[in-house]
Structure 1
Amino acid sequence: MLASRIGWQRSRLSHHLRRRERRGLVRRAECAADSRGAEVMLTTEGAEAFKRASLPHLRAVRELFASPLTRDQPAAVEQLATTLRTGLESSRGA
Structure 2
Amino acid sequence: MGEPYALDLDEAPFWRSLMRITTALPRALEDQFLPETGLAITDYGVLVALSEAPDQVLRISALAATTGLSLSRISRVVNDLTRRGLVEKRKCAEDGRASNAVLTDAGLTRLEAAYPSHLARVRASVFDHLSTDDVRTAGPVLARLAAALDATPPTDDC
TM range (shorter): 0.7 to 0.9
Change (3 A) 1:33 1:7: same
Change (3 A) 1:41 1:80: same
Runs of 5+ consecutive residues of structure 1 not aligned to the other structure? none
Runs of 5+ consecutive residues of structure 2 not aligned to the other structure? 1-60
Work out which of the residue numbers 73, 88, 92 in structure 1 matches 2:134: 73
Change (3 A) 1:57 1:29: same
Change (3 A) 1:89 1:30: closer
Change (3 A) 1:26 1:70: same
Q: Which residue of 2 aligns with 1:2?
A: 62
Q: CA RMSD in A?
A: 2.2
Counterparts of 1:89 and 1:18, CA distance in 2: 24
Q: CA deviation at 1:89?
A: 4.2
Counterparts of 2:63 and 2:104, CA distance in 1: 20
Counterparts of 1:26 and 1:35, CA distance in 2: 19
Work out which of the residue numbers 79, 94, 107 in structure 2 matches 1:33: 94
Change (3 A) 1:64 1:44: same
Matched, 1:23 2:76: no
Which runs of at least 4 in structure 1 moved beyond 4 Å after TM superposition?
none
Counterparts of 1:89 and 1:14, CA distance in 2: 19
Counterparts of 2:153 and 2:81, CA distance in 1: 31
Query: Deviations 1:2-33 (Å, cap 9, x if unpaired)?
Result: 36513403x33222222111111111122111
What is the percent sequence identity of the aligned residues?
A: 26
Give the match's secondary structure for 2:146.
Answer: helix
Matched, 1:52 2:113: yes
Between Structure 1 and Structure 2, how many residues are aligned?
A: 92
Normalising to structure 1: TM-score of the pair?
A: 0.78
Structure 1 residues 11-20 or 72-81, which shifts more?
11-20
Counterparts of 1:40 and 1:26, CA distance in 2: 6
Normalising to structure 2: TM-score of the pair?
A: 0.50
